[in-house]
Amino acid sequence: MATPRRNLISVSNTPYYHCISRCVRRAFLCGQDPLTGRSFEHRRDWVEKKLLQLGRIFCIDVCAYAVMSNHTHLVLHIDIAKANRLNNKAILIRWHKLFKSTFLCQRFLDGDLLTQAEVTAVNTRVNLYRERLSSISWFMRVLNESVARKANQEDECKGRFWEGRFKSQALLDEAALAACLAYVDLNPVRAKAADLPEQSDYTSIKSRINAAQNNKQPKSLMRFAGKPRKHMPNGLPFELKTYLQLVDWTGRSIREDKPGKIPEDALPILERLNICIDNWLTLTTSFTRSFKNTAGKEQAITAYTNHMKRKRRSSIANSLALFT
């Protein structure tokens, strides 16, 4: 029996989550269908554009993504502070970019004089929208429904396009976050859809590399904020340059014709997160098989399990083996 989403997502434990959506029967979402020769490559653009649009509307940051032939990988960050900081007008404006406005909410935005009962009704609706704008379930719902409708219209058919639920994994610490980011960014390389990360179309790693060549970071993605420190700005707790080097090394290591090895001091992020090289390669090539609903070190998984009042510590054996 599937676990309710509310029992899998807990912002107090971690704001980072790895989400995976697959097409029904693993049919083609994008790419070239080898049986019919028909190309669905343009659908990758649908997913990427909608994803980045939602990242600007929702109080959820896109950390990494990879649009594959029959599934998508996302790493998302829930920004509760931002959701609470936005005023009522800002919340309504964001929500109405996706859904139609109610008559009462439109009157509020137009500056009309409202009665106390009407103000109360608007506030109730705004609080509902505020909660939804920081919900991964709503984020994935809007993304997947949009793509499914366009694909079914193009195929002139009805019915389910995606599997019933998207899969989510809680990334409980920096080690799990770094491993999952690299896992997502290297998906096209492992699938032999691209030889190099910078050649992987419709991925976050290509966007980051293109921006890094101009000494910038893409505005559509959550930025790398550097090493954790006292006054830490909002962003991923790693250095961009080090992360890109890490992805490049990992990609070379998992290729059968280049099982390269580099000195330990060239990868400070691994030393900082206390992950051995062999375990790192296992994490970044089989992340979804190694972990179920949670990913992190033993202490993080135990705290998460206790907080969520669950009986079993999910994936604890693999955590002990890989994050030692």
Residue 187: CB atoms within 10 A of its CB come to 23
Note the pTM of the prediction, 2 decimals: 0.82
What integer pLDDT is reported at residue 275 of this predicted model?
Answer: 60
d(Cα 297, Cα 310) in Å, to the nearest integer?
Answer: 17
Q: What is the DSSP string of 136-196?
A: HHHHHHHHHHHHHHHHHHHHT--S--B-SS-EEEEE-SHHHHHHHHHHHHTHHHHTTS-SS
Sign of the alpha-carbon dihedral angle for 296, 299, 303, 305: positive
Tell me the three state secondary structure of residue 218: coil
Q: Would you give per-residue pLDDT tens digits along the chain (324 residues)?
A: 466 666 678 888 899 999 999 988 666 777 677 777 778 888 889 999 999 999 999 999 999 999 998 899 999 999 999 999 999 999 999 999 999 989 999 999 999 998 999 999 999 999 999 999 999 999 999 999 999 898 888 888 888 888 878 899 999 999 899 999 999 998 888 887 888 788 888 999 999 888 887 778 899 999 998 776 777 778 898 888 888 888 887 877 765 543 333 233 434 444 555 666 677 677 777 777 778 788 888 888 888 888 888 878 888 888 888 876
What architecture is domain 10-79+135-322?
2-Layer Sandwich (3.30)
CB 68 within 8 A of CB 191: yes
What integer pLDDT is reported at residue 324 of this predicted model?
Answer: 66
Q: What is the DSSP string of 230-246?
A: TTPPSSBSS-HHHHHHH
What integer pLDDT is reported at residue 4 of this predicted model?
Answer: 66
Could you tell me the residue ranges of all domains in the chain? 10-79+135-322, 83-132
d(Cα 240, Cα 244) in Å, to the nearest integer?
Answer: 6
- The residue type of 304 is Y
What integer pLDDT is reported at residue 24 of this predicted model?
Answer: 83
What integer pLDDT is reported at residue 261 of this predicted model?
Answer: 31
